[in-house]
Structure 1
Amino acid sequence: MDARKEGLPRNARFSAQQPSLVSLTPFFLACATYFLLWDPEGPPSWVGALVKCLPVLTLAGFLQSSSGGARTAALQVALLFSALGDVCLIWPQAFLWGVLAFTQAQLLYIWVFGIRPLRLGLLLPILLVSLLFFGVLLPHLPPDMVLPLTAYGLALNTMLWRGLARGGRACWGATLFAISDALLAWNTFIQPLAHGRLLVMATYYAAQVFITLSAFQGRRLKTN
């Protein structure tokens, strides 16, 4: 397969072997467990943290079926940082540590997606939308969170640019990740949304599975 058809950098070392759809079963079961057991009124707990990060951990394990080399390994590490961020966000006092973990994950996603094709024309709409949203968000942020969230926003927008430029599953994953974070920011700092946590986590888990599947170059997953 020509890497250019998938928007992949020529030197990307992803696996062309398609995993079976059945191999994603642990991820779907973990997601179902989270949505069934999640109690929005319950106190933070390590059990809740484990249930929340388990879907992302199963995706890191899922990538063991890939022989994609350094980029796939980096994607696994990014998923582990995401899982760490999930745990930190359970406790309000660890929020900034969660932001730091997710920032590291975004930087790894950027490296995994690569710099080619460049597609600089994507930057302007991303910049305009992000500045508009941040302008609405800024008055609601505590002063000590402005700089960390600005840094995270830059990493997120760069990841979105590279995901859109690469196309395919990376495009879907990057877009859903940005939507999930926008919903989380609105729900946390501006105004609670109806079914806010459900919307945030559904788009977040969908984003992570699309980003994970971007490690496989083929267009379809096997059904068995």
Structure 2
Amino acid sequence: MPCCDPYPWIGLSVGRLSSFPLLKHPQVRRWLAPFIVACSLYFLLWIPEDQPSWVSALVKCQPILCLVLFLWAVAPGGSYTWLLQGALTCSAVGDACLIWPETFFYGMAVFSVAHLLYLWAFGLSPLQPGLLLCTTLASLTYYGFLLLHLEPNMVLPVAAYGLILNTMLWRGLVLGRSAGWGAVLFMFSDGVLAWDTFVYTLPFARLVTMSTYYAAQLLLTLSALRNPGLKTH
């Protein structure tokens, strides 16, 4: 009987990334190993969401912190790399905040900062307004329905977050390659999380959300290697 892959989105991303020449570099593979181990640990432990603790927060944040270390060890210096490190650090803080329901707003705020840092890294040139129109129409369709299911005090924060996320998606798609795929997976992951949280409980929602989230962050991180050359020690 064939074995079923429990984390198909990570497998899909790794398969797509195998065509990137820089991933064959021993230094890149060596510094990606902690991220893969940390992801495996998260899914193997699978700490229940109804048991929030600093241990569960650390296990959840560890893969993202490994990507910060990866950029420090491998990626060329410069503003792009630093902005990605800042976005990943904010994401790790946001992950920790989302462990506890009472800090959900803080988590959403910190993730908004992370998306703004990604947006700053991607830049605004070339503009490609047609692509912005397409992503905005898709986002308005989804968020327009989602907002109908929110408490009044949640409408403005979620709408603002959706606007920032849509802008990050637009610029990631303009940049292309791993940045584009990472932005798409980030949008998908957040979409599943929001639907499961506010609209209707989905089967395997946490598995889909976290596997696509980690894959998205990996793809966004690898976009720092689009510039020629690797850091050497």
Instruction: Please tell me the TM-score bracket, short chain as reference.
Output: 0.7 to 0.9
- 1:68 maps to a residue whose letter is G
Q: 1:79 aligns with which of 75, 80, 88?
A: 88
Question: Gapped runs of 5+ residues in structure 1?
Answer: 1-15
Number of corresponding residues: 206
Which deviates more from structure 2 when the two are superposed, residues 145-154 or residues 179-188? 145-154
Relative to the length of structure 1, the TM-score reads 0.87
Corresponding residue number in structure 2 for 1:154: 163
Corresponding residue number in structure 2 for 1:195: 204
- 2:105 maps to a residue whose letter is L
- Measure the CA separation in 2 of the matches of 1:178 and 1:99: 14
- 1:55 maps to a residue whose letter is P
Secondary structure at the aligned position of 1:215 is classed as helix
Corresponding residue number in structure 1 for 2:34: 26
Cα deviations across residues 46-102 of structure 1 (Å, max 9, x unaligned)? 000000010000000100122231221111011000000000000000000000000
Q: How far did residue 120 of structure 1 move?
A: 1.2
Corresponding residue number in structure 1 for 2:220: 211
> Contact conserved, 2:49 with 2:99, CA < 8 A, in 1?
no
Secondary structure at the aligned position of 1:140 is classed as coil
**Aligned-pair identity (%):** 55
Relative to the length of structure 2, the TM-score reads 0.84
Cα deviations across residues 94-132 of structure 1 (Å, max 9, x unaligned)? 000000000000000001111122211101211111111
Matched ranges for 1:10-49 at <5 A = 19-40=27-48, 42-49=50-57
Q: How far did residue 145 of structure 1 move?
A: 1.3
> Contact conserved, 2:112 with 2:161, CA < 8 A, in 1?
yes
- Measure the CA separation in 1 of the matches of 2:173 and 2:135: 10
Q: 1:108 aligns with which of 111, 114, 117?
A: 117
> Contact conserved, 1:141 with 1:189, CA < 8 A, in 2?
yes
- Measure the CA separation in 2 of the matches of 1:21 and 1:214: 15
Q: How far did residue 177 of structure 1 move?
A: 0.3
> Contact conserved, 1:68 with 1:215, CA < 8 A, in 2?
no
Q: How far did residue 173 of structure 1 move?
A: 0.5
> Contact conserved, 2:76 with 2:225, CA < 8 A, in 1?
no
Q: How far did residue 207 of structure 1 move?
A: 0.3
Q: How far did residue 42 of structure 1 move?
A: 4.0
User: How big is the alpha-carbon RMSD for the aligned residues of Structure 1 and Structure 2?
Assistant: 2.0
Corresponding residue number in structure 2 for 1:178: 187
- 2:40 maps to a residue whose letter is A
Q: How far did residue 45 of structure 1 move?
A: 0.5
Distance 1:190 1:80, change over 3 A: same
- Measure the CA separation in 2 of the matches of 1:21 and 1:172: 20
Distance 1:88 1:71, change over 3 A: same
- 1:214 maps to a residue whose letter is S
Q: Once superposed, which parts of structure 1, at least 4 consecutive aligned residues long, lie more than 6 Å away? A: none
**More contact order relative to length (CA 8 Å, sep ≥ 6):** 1
- Measure the CA separation in 2 of the matches of 1:217 and 1:131: 31
Q: How far did residue 41 of structure 1 move?
A: 5.2
Corresponding residue number in structure 2 for 1:124: 133
